[in-house]
Every structure is written in structure tokens, then in C-alpha cells.
């Protein structure tokens, strides 16, 4: 069986196993084991030959995303080793959590690996449903509201994406060979000979559909509440993985449609959505009082930035977008880990209740501070590098784009600095405070930050080459 399939089936098999593990400790450890195993498998992909095998493909574009996905899967599993106990879930829900988590990981892998657009669609749908279950896990009204919104909006979105896929097939159907009707490679090859009108229609639906998943404004409404409910681990994987998979799907569609010279340039639409997301999210950050929702909005901001990069297109633009996706996943999940630990410390996720971490729990406080700085795009982390490349590219190609970009970035940094100081500095508010954070939360945070640092200013040669190639693949 080819390696990619293994990578999909292992988590699903794990999910099946976890479904029958009653003891939570054992289940959590098994969860970690499975995640570690699949991470090793993902590493093995580096050696695997690139190209299409059946419904899956392995290329420079999805390889980094896969590695990242399973890395974050592992760190999240380790984190929830310590954290999930504090979520106060009954055994049934706890088991549901573990099952859904592995289900999600497998679907995630499939979504990233898929070459057949239909399969990709199915995988993303499964991942969505799994995450919906995890979001609604607590069953509180707020959780139900978030999950229901998530479910309905993404259900509609995914349906539109399917329609887009079908229309894409309709466009290619006259010129494409039978059987490979939905293969990305094949579609991209023949795209130039398709009817541009149909391609446009297809792209609109794909963009709206997968863009909903990627949380692009104005299709973003589900994201803040979905990431703020459910166990903290969910926030990490949602912002770290699901958004990336959706963005990858958009990229695949863009690559196909963009291959036809006479279509409405897909980059322009993506750019518009990206800039809108940056502006709206940046200013939405100003009035957040809930820490997790704050960083959920910042995920929208960063997805918007990545979309802007891909919308600019070209080697540099795509590289900026890809780098931004990777860096954002690392930094943001690190921050969510930190927030989760802080929430455990204080039993509230309101910013006002979390203050003064640097004094209450210095190790956690400073780690979180650095993490937030990384998310805010301050040096020397990956987001700084990607934003530098993005802004310089925008200035060189569409100077007018500097204004919305700069405005959004400035507003976002202002808001993030405010929250950073509110969370980390000053005297802690008097109130219940548990013991300091343990290694299961600090370890993942530091690991992510170190990786983000390397990704920012000290990327090893081979990976650098890989990313460069990926920028080419994104078209």
C-alpha cells in the first residue's frame, strides 16, 4: 500500500481503536502514540517519490503542509495529554474527543494529499464534521451555538464547493479523457482548452465554498466562535490545519483556472477577499474581551494575509503566502496552547481575568508573550519574514495595496500589543490560581516558537528549495 494511503488510514484505524478504549489516561497516551507514529510517517514522505498515485498526489506544495499538519497533530496530542483532563468532560465525550481528533487528522491528511478534487472535497467535509463534533463537545449553549453556526455555514460552503467541482468537471468534460475527470493534474493540463466562462463560474463557487472554510471575510462568521468553544486543542488544530487545507483547495482551483489565459484572473478575486479579511479582522481585534476569540479573529487576519500573497501570485507572492500559512499555524497554535494553560490557571478565558501572567507564572507568561509577539509579526519569527516579503511584493506590484495592508497591519499590531500587555504584564488580578504550567504545555509552545524562528531566518537549504518549488507549483 502506498505511503500516502498509510498516512490516511493510520489515524482512522487509530480512531477505531480509541473508540473502544475506556480508560482516559490510556486513551490519551494512545492518542499521543498514534500521532507520533503518523508524524514519523509524514517525515518518511520526504523520501517518498513525488507525483500522482491513484487519487493522491505528493508535490512540493502539500508536502510542507503535511509535515506541519502532523507536527501540530503531535504537539496538540501531547498538549491535550495534560490539558484535556482539565476540560471536565465525561468519559463518553472524552472518548468522542479522541475519536474525532484522529478522524480529523486522517481526513486532514487525505484533504492535503488528494489529487482527485472529489476526494479532496469529501475529505474536507469529513474533517469539518469531525471538528464540528469537537467544537460542540461541551454541549453548553454557547458551544451549541458555535457548532450549529459552524455546521450550517460550512455545510452550505462545502455544498457550493461541490457545485464548483462539478462545474469544473463540466468545463473540462469535452476535452478530458474519461476516468480522470476530476484529477487536478489532468484538469490543469487541459485547462487552457476549456471554456473560460465555465471556468470562471466554477472558480466563483469553489472560492466561495472553500473560502468559507478558510474563513475569508465576508464568509468568516463561523470561525471566531468555533475556535473559541470546545477544548483548546481544537482551536490549535482548527487554526493550524483546517484553514490550511481549505486554502490549499482554493490554491488548487486557482492553479487550474489561472492556467487559462482568458478567464477572469482568479488572483484578483483572491486579493480582494484577502484585503477585506485583513481590514475587517484587524479592526475586529480592537474590541475583543475574550482571549480565544481574539486570536481566532487574528487567524482570519492571517488567512487574509496569506490569501493576499497568493492573490498577488508569482513566485514571491506565493512563497509569501505559503510561508505565512506555515508560520501562522506554528505561532498561532503555540499561542493557543499558552492561552489554554492560562485558562486552566484562572478558570476563565476573559482577557481581564488572565492578566499579569509574567508575575503569576513567569515561564508561561514570557513564553506566551513571545508567542504573541510572533503572531503579531514581530521579528525574528516566520510571520515577520513572510509579511516583509508580502508587503514588499505588494508595494512593487500593486503600490495601492500598501494602504489597506499597512492600515490593517498597524491596527492589528496595535490591538495585539494591547492584549499582549494586558495578558502578560502588570499585576495579576486576585483570584483562583492553579499551579504553574507543566511541560506538556510549555514544551509544545517552545517547540513551535523555535521552529517558527528557524522558518523565519534560518531555513535549511533543502526546505528552502522545497518552498521555492512549492511557490512554482501554486502557479
Does 43 contact other proteins by CB under 8 A?
no
Q: Sign of dihedral through CA atoms 170, 174, 180, 184?
A: negative
Does 259 contact other proteins by CB under 8 A?
no
Does 54 contact other proteins by CB under 8 A?
no
Does 458 contact other proteins by CB under 8 A?
yes
Per the CB < 8 A criterion, the answer to whether 103 and 12 are in contact is yes
Does 22 contact other proteins by CB under 8 A?
no
Q: Which residues, in sequence order, are bridge partners of residue 57?
A: 52
How far apart are the C-alpha atoms of 283 and 269, rounded to whole Å?
22
**Biggest CA-to-CA distance, the chain:** 70
How far apart are the C-alpha atoms of 328 and 223, rounded to whole Å?
16
Least distance between other proteins and beta carbon 166 (Å): 5
Which of 43, 152, 192, 450 touches other proteins by CB under 8 A?
A: 152
How far apart are the C-alpha atoms of 424 and 157, rounded to whole Å?
38
Nearer to other proteins, 37 or 447 (CB): 447
Which of 37, 159, 189, 433 touches other proteins by CB under 8 A?
A: 159
How far apart are the C-alpha atoms of 422 and 352, rounded to whole Å?
7
How far apart are the C-alpha atoms of 97 and 134, rounded to whole Å?
6
Dihedral angle over CA of 52, 58, 62, 67, nearest 10: 160
Which of 200, 239, 244, 277 touches other proteins by CB under 8 A?
A: 200
Q: How many CA atoms lie within 13 A of 138 on its CB side?
A: 20
Binding mask 103-142 for other proteins (x = CB under 8 A): -------------x-xx-xx--xx--x--xx--x--xxxx
Least distance between other proteins and beta carbon 32 (Å): 27
Does 13 contact other proteins by CB under 8 A?
no
Q: Select from 100-108, 218-226, 239-247, 250-258 the region that touches other proteins (CB under 8 A).
A: 218-226
Does 208 contact other proteins by CB under 8 A?
yes
How far apart are the C-alpha atoms of 47 and 53, rounded to whole Å?
15
Does 380 contact other proteins by CB under 8 A?
yes
Q: Select from 5-13, 22-30, 73-81, 179-187 the region that touches other proteins (CB under 8 A).
A: 179-187
Does 414 contact other proteins by CB under 8 A?
yes
Does 163 contact other proteins by CB under 8 A?
yes
Does 357 contact other proteins by CB under 8 A?
no
Amino acid at each position: 500500500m502506498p505511503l500516502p494511503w498509510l498516512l490516511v488510514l493510520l489515524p482512522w484505524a487509530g480512531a477505531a481503536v480509541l473508540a473502544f478504549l475506556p480508560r482516559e489516561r490510556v486513551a490519551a497516551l494512545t492518542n499521543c502514540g498514534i500521532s507520533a507514529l503518523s508524524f514519523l510517517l509524514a517525515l518518511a514522505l520526504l523520501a517518498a517519490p513525488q507525483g500522482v498515485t491513484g487519487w493522491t498526489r505528493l508535490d512540493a506544495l502539500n508536502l510542507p503542509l503535511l509535515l506541519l499538519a502532523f507536527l501540530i497533530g503531535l504537539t496538540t496530542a501531547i498538549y491535550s495529554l495534560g490539558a484535556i483532563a482539565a476540560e471536565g468532560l465525561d468519559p463518553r465525550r472524552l472518548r468522542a474527543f479522541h475519536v474525532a481528533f484522529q478522524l480529523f487528522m486522517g481526513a486532514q491528511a487525505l484533504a492535503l494529499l488528494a489529487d482527485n478534487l472529489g476526494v479532496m472535497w469529501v475529505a474536507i467535509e469529513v474533517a469539518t464534521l469531525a471538528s464540528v463534533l469537537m467544537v460542540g463537545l461541551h454541549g453548553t449553549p454557547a458551544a451549541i451555538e458555535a457548532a450549529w453556526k459552524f455546521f450550517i455555514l460550512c455545510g452550505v460552503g462545502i455544498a457550493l464547493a461541490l457545485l464548483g467541482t462539478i462545474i469544473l468537471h463540466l468545463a473540462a468534460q469535452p476535452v478530458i479523457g474519461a476516468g480522470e475527470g476530476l484529477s487536478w493534474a489532468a484538469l490543469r493540463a487541459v485547462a487552457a482548452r476549456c471554456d473560460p466562462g465555465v471556468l470562471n463560474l466554477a472558480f466563483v463557487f469553489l472560492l466561495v465554498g472553500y473560502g468559507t472554510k478558510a474563513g475569508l471575510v465576508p464568509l468568516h462568521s463561523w470561525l471566531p466562535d468555533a475556535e473559541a468553544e470546545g477544548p483548546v486543542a481544537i482551536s490549535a488544530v482548527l487554526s493550524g490545519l483546517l484553514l490550511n487545507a481549505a486554502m490549499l483547495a482554493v490554491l488548487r482551483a486557482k492553479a487550474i483556472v489561472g492556467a487559462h489565459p482568458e478567464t477572469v484572473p482568479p488572483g484578483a478575486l483572491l486579493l480582494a477577499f484577502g484585503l477585506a479579511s485583513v481590514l475587517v479582522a484587524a479592526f475586529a481585534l480592537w474590541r475583543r474581551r475574550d482571549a480565544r476569540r481574539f486570536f481566532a479573529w487574528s487567524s482570519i487576519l492571517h488567512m487574509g494575509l496569506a490569501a493576499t500573497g497568493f492573490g498577488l501570485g508569482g513566485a514571491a507572492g506565493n512563497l509569501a503566502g505559503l510561508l505565512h500559512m506555515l508560520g501562522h499555524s506554528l505561532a498561532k497554535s503555540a499561542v493557543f496552547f499558552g492561552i489554554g494553560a492560562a485558562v486552566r490557571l484562572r478558570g476563565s478565558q476573559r482577557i481581564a481575568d488572565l492578566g499579569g501572567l509574567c508575575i503569576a507564572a513567569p515561564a508561561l507568561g514570557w513564553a506566551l508573550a513571545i508567542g504573541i509577539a510572533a503572531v503579531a509579526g514581530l521579528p525574528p519569527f516566520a510571520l515577520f519574514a513572510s509579511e516583509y516579503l508580502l508587503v514588499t511584493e505588494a508595494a512593487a506590484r500593486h503600490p495601492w495595496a500598501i494602504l489597506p495592508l499597512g492600515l490593517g497591519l498597524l491596527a492589528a499590531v496595535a490591538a495585539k500589543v494591547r492584549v499582549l500587555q494586558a495578558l502578560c504584564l502588570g499585576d495579576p488580578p486576585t483570584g483562583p490560581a492553579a499551579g504553574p504550567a507543566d511541560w506538556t504545555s510549555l514544551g509544545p509552545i517552545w517547540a513551535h516558537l523555535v521552529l517558527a524562528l528557524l522558518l523565519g531566518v534560518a531555513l535549511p537549504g533543502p526546505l528552502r528549495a522545497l518552498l521555492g518549488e512549492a511557490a512554482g507549483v501554486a502557479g
